[in-house]
Structure 1
Amino acid sequence: MKAARSAPGRVRALDYVAAVTVKAGGRALPLGGVALPNRRLVLRRLRRQALRLADGHGRDLVRAAPWLGVRDVRPVTFHGSEAPEALRAWAGDHGSQEHAMSALTSGLPALLTVVDPFVVLRVTLGAWPVDLCGWVAAASADHPYPPRTEAEGA
């Protein structure tokens, strides 16, 4: 398990990962991610990124910084409005957030995949316990994130 400094002399555990990937043309590319100490922060991070990606639809994209650290994920150009609307809907739906929280509490990943059908672009927002990362690496060395456990777009 990784740890981060929260204050001089203090170390806190980073128990969850939040990450965003895009898949296009059979290639999965990470857009950004971060390890955080609890489920609520992870879901808050994913909601923020979902809204940021959705709000970028139809606007000129800002060039991504070469090193993003824990800042926002790289932007995506959507060609239709379905994916941005699905991201907004998920971010604002209390039931979806509770479902994601329940999955994380149970030690399972919480995943959302939205599809831009015009260019077959898939954006996945995911959160999972750090302990799950070792299992995933052993199960699938070429896939950067855990396998899906929910229906796409759910």
Structure 2
Amino acid sequence: MEGSSSSNIMDNQRLPQHENVTNVSLPPAEYEVPNPHGDDLTLDRETRIRLLNRGYSKKYRQRKNCDIENLEDKQNTLSETIRKEIPMSKVYTNFNSVFKTEVNTSEETLSQVNSNDEVLNVEMNMVINKLEQVKLSKKATEVEFDKKKKFLGK
């Protein structure tokens, strides 16, 4: 590999021209690769490919930088949107907490009404039982009274 053309480039030496040399001029506008040695330079295939690859790499880096800038713009837009929306979410959160407080109060009231209803049902059952006892007592008194009346009326 020591005699290869790539090791010569690493040593900043100019590549030797081989017999399969083609007369190629790279138009800078088409490939975005300036030809540092002039338009009439004869380049071998490896050098031409290397120069093209440098142009493609430069284009790729520019495209990556553009993509990064676009992503940063999107991030800034989203950050701004989030910053604007946070106060609205606080309003909804406050409304939700007020609503939950009202629901809890209503549930407590319902619980009290239910417990009061149970107390009233117990009291009503006690009153009904006393009323039935009074009725039975009255009937027993009437039966006693009728017996005494019959006994006296005989």
Q: Whose radius of gyration is greater, 1 or 2?
A: 2
Same fold (TM over 0.5): no
When normalised by structure 2's length, the TM-score is 0.21
Structure with more of its chain in strand, by fraction = 1
- As a proportion of its length, which structure holds more helix? 2
Normalised TM-score (structure 1)? 0.21
